[in-house]
Structure 1
């Protein structure tokens, strides 16, 4: 039956049923779909790309062919969306450059396995089950092997009003829209498959657009964001250390005295117990304002990537140790064995790797209240942030993200990282002060709007009024539980529909 139907179809359709041409088309669709991610923001290309992947999936005649289609679409998507992953390996080309192509191949190909498995599991099943499994796989991707929830399909909406729905269901809800709209359009009819997603997104655009950020209250605390622009290849060069340190001092001491000064991750090149003089200079430059900064520290043989808040007297008022470390960056799994083959973490300390802290927790900032410190990579894990931002009196006033995005290059990585910071602000309805070594730095309000910004590869400081915090939204209160229930219902409905269709076919 299948062979006769294929013979009756046009030649292009018959080619679509062959696995390798179909995989090539799916890979191209993935590349196009990833253009919806930052910095490109072409979300209106992502929806047709998903629709094409669904059409190609329908032409797979075997479960293996379905897997190949899903894997190829994911490989194209992650291959472009995560292309910045080669940049950290090029900082020290002589030592790590050989790993760059393998990093991209293994990361893109490995993450694409999630999508391939979904397409295989939903082979000859309805779109509802496929979408439910696909979103569940994306949620699992944020947990498995310490998690890497980067470049999710829902991230294409971060720079649009649709992102406001993240306050209800986080990135999984945005992903449901990114996958569900094309699937629904195809189910309605081929003549409407472009019109339905477009009309739905335009309606959401109008209804959800928060508009421009309002003027801050006159008594809002002023936060100074300091971006020294210390290029990663020179950041630890002894000849450049005084240059970058002087930048921090001069930028901190300019203008009126703010209520808080924030420096980026590993702002000082010395360990905490060796930084007394440098911290004293920073306190003097801050002129009485508390100073928050990233710094390395050690306890015995253990090294930590930490954030501290220094008060006006130069004392450490608060301390946080980064808890979610970057695999193969800040530590290497099975590190002793890997070291025998010359594999070391790219950003590991002189001790060979960092020790994780006990977990995210708010810290006290004099004159402002509680802040939730996040160091670099930790800003992409919505579930962990949810667990640390309790409601009520202990709910932080703001999130304080310190990062060194110089590792991520100059094309897409820093912009995608900044976009995810905006998504975290929406999910929590909480402002975020984000400071990056080379950019992008900015103040983000509780609606995800950027109220102050320092661009990529710029040196500078900006004073930003701290926006108000909103009430804890549904996602901050309940996390992923409602979405999991919705996915379960969607999957069960899809399975029931499949049984009914098979019953009709049998009759």
Structure 2
């Protein structure tokens, strides 16, 4: 009887003899190891252990459903340990919401793990075996992760490619984005299994090809990182303000004035060069700035004459007198006048809106969907007097690599965010790592103002120019690097590379079929 192992026609080969629970436990451990490969630890060498072991575990069973459950266990381990920080949001008001935390984490992990189960189930259903199974599964896994980035508005957090963010390989994202990087990372990480269990020439040829690919990407990225950050002809200084207001204190009536004055004091602090723009975090103030000229003037007067970019809520009049709330970014001039605004367009499900809220409201359940924000029209490039044109992002929007395109190319990216919901957990570090990936992909400097951190300026190669660490009060003053020309990924997007992954996956399947003959 032929099994689905790498080359193994005999089910007695390890780990085919494992029972169900040891197999699922080992798969879960593979997922945990792949979490450790991600930021903030970035122990990327673990990929070369976890990916081959998962391939062995899923290839040692005889039924597709067993392969699917094994990969699901790995995905559950990965997402439960990689997204544990979501529980922090439920602990801000622990008396009301704390009981939801374990259900949210386990439910989310189990649901997202289906995107790992599917490719391995398909591979088992097709009875893929032999050394080319690695190519097919790497492609199927990548396509499933691409689907995770889009289905139900998408959640491309902790993509496989982010394991390489601290290595020169991350620079290849400027060529083909995070999904193709993830595909190559999975394929290269799985190559040791071919060396261990392959047969004939492939046992040497495939690992050597993977090593050559890894070395080429590493060398190209290293050469790119050796170049200095591009400088603007006319220096432009940016100040990013980090008030470090804990989420459970941020909206307390007695502390709102304290945090507001902290923001103003940090904005007005003397520095060697007067900033050209001052950036405050997401929802930095509780007032409706469009309706509060006194608050706008107080903000503007603290910025040494520079424009201020500040996060606040906005409300507009909708049909039938309905109030439409937006999570917004405002730009103020030195007099407090509003120069422009941007409304967040990609909202957090269940955090900023309830899915199907229109249907629920139509059924008379307005109370259930109350408090939801409405999405803005989409990405825009903002122009302010004396400030280089920028692409504004609010918090969650920075995790979507495919949503960085607007009507024209900006000179830099500005993200305002409030990661205070997630305390000192891995969440803010992971969010920051994704900002670095967006800079690499687009070839644009990236300025980030975060309530509790990490606030930073990132250059177009993803290098940190200056930063303020997590949970530290202060500001970051730094010159804005010049942008690079449009990268290949900025011009082409994901679709050509997804098509290439499809082609490589089909090639792997065909080669597996020939191997069986």
The TM-score with structure 1 as length reference comes to: 0.91
Q: How does 1:215-234 map to 2 (within 5 A)?
A: 216-217=231-232, 219-234=234-249
Distance between the aligned counterparts of 1:42 and 1:15, measured in 2? 30
Q: Deviations over 1:212-256 (max 9, x none)?
A: 754845722000010001110000001110110011110000114
Equivalent residue, structure 2, for 1:298: 315
- Per the TM alignment, residue 263 of structure 1 is displaced from its structure 2 partner at its CA by 0.3
- Per the TM alignment, residue 202 of structure 1 is displaced from its structure 2 partner at its CA by 5.2
Change (3 A) 1:462 1:146: same
Equivalent residue, structure 1, for 2:200: none
Equivalent residue, structure 1, for 2:302: 285
Distance between the aligned counterparts of 2:368 and 2:177, measured in 1? 35
Give SS of 1:468's match. coil
- Per the TM alignment, residue 63 of structure 1 is displaced from its structure 2 partner at its CA by 0.4
Distance between the aligned counterparts of 1:461 and 1:248, measured in 2? 9
Q: Deviations over 1:253-285 (max 9, x none)?
A: 011421010000001111123432222112111
Q: Deviations over 1:93-117 (max 9, x none)?
A: 1221111111111111111001101
Q: How does 1:14-25 map to 2 (within 5 A)?
A: 14-16=16-18, 18-25=19-26
Q: Deviations over 1:262-318 (max 9, x none)?
A: 000001111123432222112111122111011101012111000011122321111
Q: Deviations over 1:391-439 (max 9, x none)?
A: xxx3101111000001122120000000000000000000111010000
**Does 2:187 match 1:180?**
yes
Distance between the aligned counterparts of 2:424 and 2:94, measured in 1? 16
Distance between the aligned counterparts of 1:164 and 1:7, measured in 2? 42
Query: Does the 8 Å CA contact 1:19/1:68 hold for their aligned counterparts?
Result: no
Query: Does the 8 Å CA contact 1:441/1:455 hold for their aligned counterparts?
Result: yes
Residue segments in structure 1 that go unaligned for 5+ positions in a row: 346-350
- Per the TM alignment, residue 129 of structure 1 is displaced from its structure 2 partner at its CA by 1.8
Change (3 A) 1:229 1:344: farther
Equivalent residue, structure 1, for 2:109: 108
Give SS of 1:461's match. strand
Which of residues 263, 270, 276 is equivalent to 2:293? Answer: 276
Distance between the aligned counterparts of 1:211 and 1:273, measured in 2? 46
Change (3 A) 1:93 1:342: farther
Change (3 A) 1:73 1:344: farther
Query: Does the 8 Å CA contact 1:15/1:21 hold for their aligned counterparts?
Result: no
Equivalent residue, structure 1, for 2:218: 205
Query: Does the 8 Å CA contact 2:37/2:163 hold for their aligned counterparts?
Result: yes
Change (3 A) 1:454 1:372: same
Give SS of 2:140's match. helix
Distance between the aligned counterparts of 2:173 and 2:142, measured in 1? 14
User: In the comparison of the two structures, how many residue pairs are matched?
Assistant: 490
Q: How does 1:78-117 map to 2 (within 5 A)?
A: 78-117=79-118
- Per the TM alignment, residue 385 of structure 1 is displaced from its structure 2 partner at its CA by 1.0
Distance between the aligned counterparts of 1:374 and 1:7, measured in 2? 52
Q: Deviations over 1:439-493 (max 9, x none)?
A: 0010011000010100000000111100010010111001012211211211221
Q: How does 1:104-503 map to 2 (within 5 A)?
A: 104-123=105-124, 124-125=127-128, 126-190=133-197, 201=214, 204-209=217-222, 210-211=225-226, 213-214=228-229, 216-217=231-232, 219-255=234-270, 256-300=273-317, 301-335=323-357, 352-386=371-405, 388=406, 394-502=408-516
Give SS of 1:498's match. helix
Give SS of 2:113's match. helix
Distance between the aligned counterparts of 1:166 and 1:31, measured in 2? 25
Change (3 A) 1:129 1:215: closer
The TM-score with structure 2 as length reference comes to: 0.89
Query: Does the 8 Å CA contact 1:259/1:367 hold for their aligned counterparts?
Result: yes
Query: Does the 8 Å CA contact 1:292/1:309 hold for their aligned counterparts?
Result: yes
Distance between the aligned counterparts of 1:485 and 1:198, measured in 2? 24
Distance between the aligned counterparts of 2:95 and 2:12, measured in 1? 57
